[in-house]
A and B are shown apart, each in its own frame.
Chain A
Amino acid sequence: MSVRELSTHFFTEEGVVKPVQAVGFSIKKGRTFALVGESGCGKSVTGLSIMRLVPGPQGRIVGGEIVLEGKNLLALSERQMRQVRGKKIAMIFQEPMTSLNPVYTVGNQIAEAIGLHQKKGGKEAWGDAVEMLRKVGIAEPERRAREYPHQLSGGMRQRVMIAMAVSCEPQLLIADEPTTALDVTTQAQILDLLEHLQKQNGMSILLITHNLGIVAERAEDVAVMYASRIVEVADSKRLFAEPLHPYTQGLLESLPRPGFSGKRLPTISGGVPEPLDFPAGCKFHQRCPIGCGDKRCRSVEPELREVQPGRRVACWHAAGRKKLYRKSHRER
């Protein structure tokens, strides 16, 4: 699947909010692609845009292409799109409680998806639903299928969501912060499960998260988003070994890690700019130790361009000045 120049805008009374601006990436088959960034950077809206679930009428996809198996999803009718949603692309959300219907049993909800997309009858779909619950590691699936969402723990609800999402063997699974609401041990279990299912089905995963640790461990490719744009794309090993964009560098440095106690954490100064009032030029320049003094950074927004084979960065200073951020940070 590939996304090209995707832009989504919200037309509000206060003005046009542009949470996604010219975002492009491609996800290879059977791989995990992570979209990482802080809250409000547009990563979730990107996920919703791919599903064409941007809440209207304010929200609209205003440009770009989303190509799955040679077809542009943005050109499909709503009716055709419904055939794609759930069957070809499935999505799981952060809060499993609010995305499950509280008045139906979980078995019912999984069976509904199976019945709809695979044209199966009630009994057969129910049997498949129970089988899916077993697959996602729920003990006593026959009993659990007859229970309601409130009777399950957070980790189990997320397993149910996953069961529902993968029941039709989608080619792409969009996981929007799948473990943010869960404890660390449960989080590890859920991520292991996703990996296991990926190996079985050969599906691709678009993992949307703010947790850099998860990205480093679970994703093969990473795109870092900042203020509606992708600022850096690379495979995860190289990105974490040698981040090129000053924002990525700052983020990684500000993570508390083992053996760091006693000293101060390096931080990125300031906060994320408001979406209605993005600065001119590079959106990071006010917080950037290199960019704040540079005229070009203040006036012209850098495009995402290839600086090394397979590595694209949106920064005027990315090429050849790797550890600059770290150095200038220390000086300050």
Chain B
Amino acid sequence: MRNWIPACAGMTKQDDIVSQDMVSTNNYLLRVEDLRTYYPIRKGLRRKASCGLRRTAGYVRAVDGVSFGIEAGQTLGLVGESGCGKTTVARSIVRLVPAKTGKVVFGRVDVLSAERDKLREVRRQIGLVFQDPYGSLNPRMTVGEIVGEPLKVRGKTRGGVLKEQAVETLSKVGLSGEYMNRYPHEFSGGQRQRIAIARALVSRPKLVILDEPVSGLDVSIQAQILNLLKDLQEELGLTYLFIAHDLAVVEFLCDVVAVMYMGRIVERARAEELYRKPLHPYTQALVSAIPQVGSARRGCRTVPGGEAPGAANQPAGCPFGPRCPLAAGDCLKQMPQLDEKSECRGHFAACWRC
């Protein structure tokens, strides 16, 4: 769209977290280093009067030492099964949950130690889209109010301008401006997801975190939304952190894919590379477990037995060790680090055996 104002318009120079020269030199837009987010397990009485009896019995290590970077304009896919910590990573990045240790650098700002105003600005530049388009839209607000709210909260835009921007953003996601006064229940799942995407884009973010945006949609609608995301990225130069459990979808959209298992990244590589030659036994199992139309994969399926143990009781050594077909010796004693495997550059795996 021609009259799409650049994100930094209307901001003073020091507001501009992501400077243009930085983007052009292909630096990381977002860098996450050794991020750890633990949830306490509380035991004892819950009443306020008895706080003395309440204690922390342990921690769920939802995210346990995750590091990655996303270059501007690229898409990083974060894949893993439910409970592996991928959503917690997203929430920790925008400080919706407090991280225990680690570093999150967005542009030039250290997010985890940012002051209130700085944090606000960071959050403006990071859009969020959630999985369930039924739960994430307030049923009592009109589409116009939903999409305009991020601007209203910032307090700088109101009235006609706000409405204009909301209509413009809606048209970007393929919805007509006539829908402004309708309510979410009047829309189908795919349309609701478009509304959620419009809400994420209205404040002109640099980075959009997509938390399973197509998991709840039908196949034919899923393809429409994936195409929309790809078009928007091209048009607006967006950077995506794409969280999903469906590997086929991830391959379509992502440049780099990181596979998570029990709060850690076990493998990271360029998307084609990962699917062509998965190194970590867990990734191999995941790739081989996808049911595919028209492939001979079924014969060579290597699905591990058992399930991931809860994140509260991590085994010593490699987290995948107890289920791994290759596990031996070191695997059950020492934690493998995410290392670059020598045969192919940019392909990292945390495994003693590969």
Contact = CB atoms under 8 A, between A and B. Distances in A.
B249 A264 contact: no
A185 B301 CA distance: 10
A264 B298 CA distance: 27
B292 A185 contact: no
Contact of B298 (A154, A217, A256): A217
Nearest to B83: A183
B291 A271 contact: no
A187 B285 CA distance: 12
Which of the listed residues B190, B223, B305 has the most CB atoms from chain A within 10 Å of its own CB?
B223
A303 to B, nearest CB: 24
Contacts of A257: 248, 292-294
A64 interface: no
Contacts of A241: 294
Interface stretch (A103-111, A127-135, A196-204, A205-213): A205-213
A250 B298 CA distance: 24
B223 A265 contact: yes
B107 to A, nearest CB: 27
A255 B275 CA distance: 17
Interface in A135-189: 153-156, 183-189
B290 A213 contact: yes
B227 A265 contact: yes
> Which of the four size classes fits the interface of chain B?
35 or more
B223 A188 contact: no
Nearest to B188: A271
Contact of B290 (A38, A184, A186, A210): A184
Contacts of B305: 189
Contact of A258 (B81, B248, B304, B307): B248
A192 B190 CA distance: 32
A267 B223 contact: yes
A255 B307 contact: no
A211 B217 CA distance: 12
Interface string B58-93: 000000000000000000000001100000000000
B105 interface: no
Contact of B291 (A153, A155, A217): A217
A251 interface: yes
Interface string A212-236: 1110111000000000000000000
B227 A267 contact: yes
Interface string B215-229: 000111111101100
Contacts of B223: 254-256, 265-268
A325 interface: no
A13 B293 CA distance: 41
A67 interface: no
B312 interface: no
Contacts of A98: none
Interface in A254-306: 254-258, 260-261, 264-268, 271-272
> Which of the four size classes fits the interface of chain A?
35 or more
B286 interface: yes
A184 B304 contact: no
Nearest to B81: A183
B220 A38 contact: yes
B158 interface: no
Contact of B224 (A155, A211, A216, A267): A267
A210 B220 CA distance: 11
A184 B286 contact: yes
Given A183-B245, A188-B301, A256-B249, A213 B291 contact: yes
Interface in B205-262: 218-224, 226-227, 230, 245-249, 251-254
B219 A251 contact: yes
B79 to A, nearest CB: 10
B289 A216 contact: no
A209 B253 CA distance: 25
A308 interface: no
Interface string B182-215: 0000001111000000000000000000000000
Contacts of B294: 216, 240-241, 257
Contact of B218 (A38, A185, A217): A38
Interface of B: 81-82, 188-191, 218-224, 226-227, 230, 245-249, 251-254, 271-272, 275, 285-286, 289-295, 298, 301, 303-305, 307
Given A183-B245, A188-B301, 7 more contacts: A39-B189, A184-B246, A186-B307, A255-B248, A256-B252, A257-B293, A261-B271
6 contacts: A184-B245, A185-B286, A213-B292, A265-B223, A267-B224, A271-B190
The 7 closest A-B pairs by CB, nearest first: A213-B291, A254-B223, A183-B81, A256-B252, A38-B218, A265-B223, A216-B293
